[in-house]
Amino acid sequence: MKLKKRTKHLLIILVSGIALLTYSSLETRWVKITCVTIESHELPKAFDGKRIVFISDIHHGAALSRERVTKLVQRVNDLQPDIIILGGDYTSLEDKYVVPVFDELRNLKSKYGIFGVMGNHDYFVNGELTLEMMARNGIKICDNKSYWVKIKKDSIKIGGVDDPEGGAQVLDSTLFDVRRKDFCILIVHRPDYVRLMNTDLVDLTLSGHTHGGQVTFFGLWAPILPDYNGLWASLSLSGESQKYCYGLYQRKHRMQSYITSGIGTRSPHFRFFRRPEIAVLELKRK
């Protein structure tokens, strides 16, 4: 009798484990659209109601096929974005995936431009080729660079900082001509960089890198996050570490930060209660 009960318990554990792994594998393909409203007093009238679509961490490779990148591009275009922002980490592991992913991303369509930064994996794989493909395929490179985006007589600033793997992070390359009354967006692959910023000129930072924890305790807590050096590492159980994990946060001064869960995964290729996402940011003038 005891043997039968033990066998039954082992069978339940085995079936539960298989079900859990199956779900976690399927969740990596269950891309959601997350709608977020960004309100600001500094937003010019002409940008009120404009839509930014933000995607990051595609990680095209063996675990995320070119066909899935094609479908991602179609979904983004269906949202009719005014501006598209790319948060880095376009490929994983092998540079043979760099050209194909940008052959797909060049089909992205927006009214006022596509802007992007490099991620740590892009430098690990082939930074020079990635930058070349970004420029060749119509993506405005924001690594220590910035651009004014104009609609009628109004304009906003979009810039970014480079990933530490690529060298220095130069915030002033975005802020040098920004005034207090301007609306400014900063793209930075690793959200931890916000801790280093001491300015009241940035209204919104956009980041990826964390995958939202990728595997979470039912969406409430991510036990493992990448540290600032890009390595997967156990972090503090404090709420402070979770601030740089996922979602929209109000930072110091007027600044808001949005950290996306991204599209792809890092090994092991599972997600649990942190679905991949396309973030749609609607700008609202207060």
Residue 236's pLDDT band (boundaries 50, 70, 90)?
Answer: very low
Residue 2's pLDDT band (boundaries 50, 70, 90)?
Answer: low
Decide: helix, strand or coil at residue 279.
strand
For position 217, what pLDDT does the model report?
A: 84
Q: Which CATH superfamily is domain 31-285 in?
A: Metallo-dependent phosphatases (3.60.21.10)
Q: Quick check: 235 pLDDT over 70?
A: no
Residue 241's pLDDT band (boundaries 50, 70, 90)?
Answer: low
In this structure, the number of other CB atoms found within 10 A of the CB of residue 74 comes to 12
DSSP calls for 90-129: -B-S-GGGHHHHHHHHTT---SS-EEE---HHHHHHHHHH
Task: Break the chain into its structural domains and give their ranges.
Answer: 31-285
Q: Quick check: 277 pLDDT over 80?
A: yes
In the block, residue with structure tokens 């900082």 = 161
For position 10, what pLDDT does the model report?
A: 74
Taking a C-beta distance cutoff of 8 angstroms, is the pair 53, 110 a contact?
yes
Residue 38's pLDDT band (boundaries 50, 70, 90)?
Answer: very high
What does pTM read for this prediction? Answer: 0.92
Residue-wise pLDDT for 253-271, tens only, equals 789 999 999 999 988 898 9
